[in-house]
Chain A
Amino acid sequence: MDTLIAQLQRQFRDYTISLYHQGFLDDQFTELKKLQDECSPDFVAEVVTLFFEDCEKLISNMARALDQAGNVDFKLVGSSVHQLKGSSSSVGAKRVKGLCITLKECCDSQNYEGCVRCLQQVDIEYKTLKAKLQDLFNLEQQIVQAGGRIPQVDI
């Protein structure tokens, strides 16, 4: 049991570090982790869930706006991407945030192609992140179920 826990904990640590190193996450995610305590044990999961729901909504909003070829409401896209940027920076979704900044620039310069490309990338990126975080949470759960503690990971 103990070896299992140790193994899981090591896996968890490695995985977390890899997420930081590959630029999926940044320090803000660490901030979130700090906010999670006995009182709100699922805080990170909740915030992240909300974030992904937000992503989905905003991306579909932008996609709809960009679909209106020739009559694209860049302002609408801009406000959406602004929202997304805020959210992603709040949860520490580094790559998504970076893409959002690019997308915002494209939007400001009314670069339709750039917008579409960026949006596609954002879509891929947030889905990837979602899968990765899902894995991370699963690992966490496994550790808890095995009776272990979630290790503190210092980046």
Chain B
Amino acid sequence: MVCEMETDQIEEMDVEVLPSMWPENVGTEADKQFNVEKPAGDLDTLKEVTIEETPTIADLTRLPELMNSTQQGSSQLTNLVKQWEYMQDNAVRLLREELKNLNRQREEAEAKELKIIEEYKFESNEPENVPVLDETSDLFRRFRQKKRDALVDSKKIEIYEEFDTVAYWKQKASNLEKMLEASTERERRLVEKLSESLKTMESQSAPVQELTQNLKRAEGFLHFILQNAPIVMGHQDKDLRYLFIYNKYPSLREQDILGKTDVEIFHGGGVKESQDFKREVLEKGKASKREITFTTDLFGSKTFLIYVEPVYNKAGEKIGINYMGMEVTEQVDKREKMAKLREDNAVRKAMESELNKTIHITEETMRAKQMLATMSHEIRSPLSGVVGMAEILSTTKLDKEQRQLLNVMISSGDLVLQLINDILDLSKVESGVMRLEATKFRPREVVKHVLQTAAASLKKSLTLEGNIADDVPIEVVGDVLRIRQILTNLISNAIKFTHEGNVGIKLQVISEPSFARDNALTADTEEQEQNENAIPCLFKKYMQASADHARKYGGTGLGLAICKQLVELMGGQLTVTSRVNEGSTFTFILPYKVGTSDDYSDDQDEFSDMADHQSEPDDTAEGYFQFKPLLGSIYSNGGPGIGNDFLPHKVMLTSPIKLINGFVADPSNNTGQSEMLQLENGGYVDESKLETSSDHCPESAHQYENGNGRCFSKESESCSSSQASSEGGTLEMESELTVSSHREEEKAETDLKETSKPKILLVEDNKINIMVAKSMMKQLGHTMDIANNGVEAITAINHSSYDLVLMDVCMPVLDGLKATRLIRSYEETGNWNAAIEAGVDIKTSETEQVCVRSTNRLPIIAMTANTLAESSEECYANGMDSFISKPVTLQKLRECLQQYLH
């Protein structure tokens, strides 16, 4: 390194020193020329560089050859020659000028000498009397001195002596002589100088020396510049074989490169490309630059900026290329990084804006859905009002035509209600408002109830089956309402599209590693009409298999979409497999938790009341249910009129079954029957269709009682119902009985099959009191029928036999006291004459046949408010057995029942 530095310095000095060697005007020009002539010079100097100082590779034998053969080489030489010639010319010109000057001076001097000589000829006779003039010689000397100081060419010689005197001529002669002397002296000096100059010229301006100097300087300069440059330079012939290469950091030996092409030397990415590029330049004859990335075993992955120019020989033919490469890997990396950064930035910005757009759209969608939900809700409320009012209206006295119209109205209204509920559910789920409840419930009861409900409205000869695996827990935790909704939906679909065979629900536990355990509920259905190609759109909203389907089956097409959404909301999945003519299976899998016993189960589903409602052994462990079609079942058309007021959410569940199908769908039923048989929904048995149901439940067909849909067969599921519907239905029943014409038959049936279960009748006009009393009865393990006034009570007693009557005293239409009197009168006389006299409308013709227990005294207990008008004395006086003061409490009721039952 130190050594290099030194050479550097030396070279620098060279560079500095050199210009002084040139005559000033020539030197600068030559410099410029040299700078211009760079490329040719490069090659030339490199020869020297490689030889002496650097470990570069160069073909020394080839280079001079190359220099001689190529155009660049020759032009370089010509240049040098020209330059030398120019310098020589200049020197000659200078010398000539000098010579000319000297000649002119000599001529002048000669001319003067001649003149002087002529003058001397004139005065040759005059003796030279120089000694005489001794005293004046000083003066002359002074003169001569003066003259010499003055220019040679001053032609006038001033003489202050008097003209034509001796002194004058003497002075003149001596003056001229001195002038001549001076002139000769000058001439001699000039000649001397000239010869000297010529000598130095000769010694200095030998062309080889000049060129060597020049080259040395260039070489030094180049070496100085190129010493550490990361540059590879080379020359390749027409076949792209290296003839010469310079590389600061060579990784290959000279002999490995020279005479070979790139492809032969290197392997890897980029080699071919560079070869092609060089060839292209060679063919086009136009210098060009390109960036090429090499990936070779030799030096890894590096990017080079390559400059290639074609080389012509003197004849202008291409003989190869010059090539220069510089490594720019880092720069390229940086540049690419920047580009990537910029690109990433752009992409991120684009994504951001995209995201914003999506968010905006989502927000809009949510808002729209929210709005739909709100609107549906807003529509539902008044519509509920309309339907509710219509239902209430249907409980009033109407003629047949009015009733039919009203029923169409109710069923249409209910359809709309159902649709709105569906939309509401769907938009609730989609907008994320839907909240699931986690309550304990009994899956068996859910399945049973769903099937029961479906069976109640079944109009086809289908068998409904429920199959629950033994390992399904008795109680699980989940949102029972929603699960039931899903099942109901699937089953009603199944029933709708299945024309014969079975429809069923299978419930089993499957275990999957991902969930702890899964509750897999399978709804197996046979759907003859299901088309394979319709499956993809099954779960879409408002989609039905075809337009024909919509016409044929009706419905909104929302059901399955809701099911799917609900199942997914619960963390499960709903799938379907289907084969035309073989049926479809909808399967949904839900994760579930087993309810622990200490869980506070505050939210038993309403149908689980039923287990308590029926005073039967708990059938929670039962795993199989079957429901044969109860063909011709009669559907309640107005049951929930009252229930609607205070239990709207429950009515929603039960009313579709009751209302949609009613009379419109089943025109074969006569209106009278239908009205009369509005019992609890599971227990509807039409007298006229008893055969159908009896093959599956033979006794139960006859244990049919008005006012209470109890059925005592083993298949007693069919008599359960929701609290809401039972209440609604029963109340409805009571009011309808007065106009009914078929009750006697029923009574006959009932009486024959009377059981030990006590029958209680509550006569009460106050809904709240009814509700409370009923609830108390339930707690005490009894159910009871309700009559709203004395007349209804009489009618009910006429119909059925009771073990106990709880009678409110103060009632509209017919108060408790009067009613009791009439009942007592009937017991005594065996007829209702007194009642008829009192204006109660009773068909006496039939009463006598069915009156079985008229001889027994029916315990009638008054319920009094302890006011003056309702004194206990009066109660006893009117034939009542006892009284309970209002408000009724559990304790009072229990005591009373203990006293009068059993």
Contact = CB atoms under 8 A, between A and B. Distances in A.
Interface stretch (A17-25, A45-53, A63-71, A115-123): A45-53
Interface string B775-813: 110110000000000000000000000000000101010
Contact of A32 (B645, B723, B766, B772): B772
Given A86-B886, A144-B602, A53 B645 contact: yes
A83 interface: yes
Nearest to B642: A50
A31 B889 contact: yes
Given A51-B768, A90-B886, A40 B775 contact: yes
A83 B889 CA distance: 18
Contacts of A47: 768, 771-772, 775
Given A40-B723, A41-B604, A50-B646, A35 B766 contact: no
Interface string A94-131: 00000001001000000000000000000000000000
B275 interface: no
B480 to A, nearest CB: 13
B19 interface: no
B31 interface: no
Contact of B865 (A27, A53, A85, A92): A85
B890 A90 contact: no
Nearest to A104: B867
B769 interface: yes
B765 interface: yes
Contacts of A149: 600
A50 B889 contact: no
B194 to A, nearest CB: 124
B865 A35 contact: no
Contacts of A2: none
Interface in A27-45: 27-28, 31-32, 34-35, 37-41, 43
A34 B894 CA distance: 14
A78 to B, nearest CB: 10
B890 A34 contact: yes
Contacts of A9: none
A94 to B, nearest CB: 11
A38 B604 contact: yes
B723 to A, nearest CB: 7
Nearest to A144: B602
Contacts of A83: 765-766
Nearest to B603: A41
A91 B602 contact: no
Contact of B768 (A35, A37, A87, A101): A87
Interface centre among B645, B765, B775 (most CB of A within 10 A): B775
B797 to A, nearest CB: 23
Contacts of A79: 812
Q: In the complex, which of the residues A27, A28, A50 has the most CB atoms of chain B within 10 Å of its own CB atom?
A: A50
B771 A89 contact: no
Contacts of A54: 766-768
A38 B607 CA distance: 11
Interface in B16-52: none
Main secondary structure of the interface of A (DSSP, over half): helix
Contacts of A132: none
B600 A89 contact: no
Chain A interface bracket (under 10, 10 to 19, 20 to 34, 35 or more): 20 to 34
A54 B767 CA distance: 9
A47 B775 CA distance: 10
A129 B768 CA distance: 17
A43 B768 contact: no
Contacts of A49: 646
A50 B775 contact: no
B622 interface: no
B601 A38 contact: yes
A79 B890 CA distance: 26
Given A41-B602, A49-B646, A83-B766, A35 B772 contact: yes
Given A39-B612, A50-B645, A90 B768 contact: yes
**Size class of the B contact interface (CB-based, 8 Å):** 20 to 34
B603 A90 contact: no
Nearest to B810: A82
A143 B779 CA distance: 25
Contacts of B867: 101, 104
A53 B647 CA distance: 12
Contacts of A40: 609, 723, 775, 778
A104 B867 CA distance: 10
Given A31-B890, A92-B887, A86 B772 contact: no
Nearest to B767: A50
B602 A53 contact: no
Contacts of A43: 775
A35 B602 contact: no
Nearest to A89: B887
Contacts of B602: 38, 41, 144
A86 B769 contact: yes
B29 to A, nearest CB: 101
B608 interface: yes
Given A31-B887, A82-B810, A89-B887, A39 B772 contact: no
B865 A39 contact: no
B772 A53 contact: no
A40 B890 CA distance: 16
Nearest to B645: A53
Interface in B841-898: 865, 867, 886-890
Contact of B886 (A27, A50, A51, A89): A89
A86 B887 CA distance: 7
Contacts of B889: 27-28, 31
Given A31-B890, A40-B609, A40-B723, A87 B769 contact: yes
Contacts of B600: 147, 149
Contact of A46 (B603, B608, B771, B865): B771
Interface string B734-772: 000000000000000000000000000000011111011
Nearest to B439: A41
Contacts of B890: 31, 34-35
A90 B886 CA distance: 7
A76 to B, nearest CB: 11
Contacts of B646: 46, 49-50, 53
Interface string B642-665: 000111000000000000000000
A50 B771 contact: yes
A134 to B, nearest CB: 15
Contacts of A147: 600
Contacts of B775: 35, 40, 43, 47
Given A32-B772, A49-B646, A79-B812, A87 B604 contact: no
Contacts of A41: 602-604
Given A28-B887, A31-B887, A31-B889, A90 B769 contact: yes
Contacts of B766: 54, 83, 86-87, 90
B768 A39 contact: no
Nearest to B772: A90
A54 B888 CA distance: 18
14 contacts: A34-B890, A38-B602, A38-B604, A39-B604, A39-B612, A39-B613, A40-B778, A49-B646, A50-B645, A50-B646, A54-B767, A83-B765, A90-B768, A92-B887
Given A39-B778, A47-B772, 6 more contacts: A38-B602, A46-B646, A46-B647, A54-B768, A85-B865, A86-B886
Interface of A: 27-28, 31-32, 34-35, 37-41, 43, 46-47, 49-51, 53-54, 79, 82-83, 85-87, 89-92, 101, 104, 144, 147, 149
List 10 A-B pairs, minimum CB-CB distance, nearest first. Answer: A39-B609, A35-B775, A89-B887, A50-B646, A87-B768, A38-B604, A28-B887, A86-B766, A90-B887, A90-B769
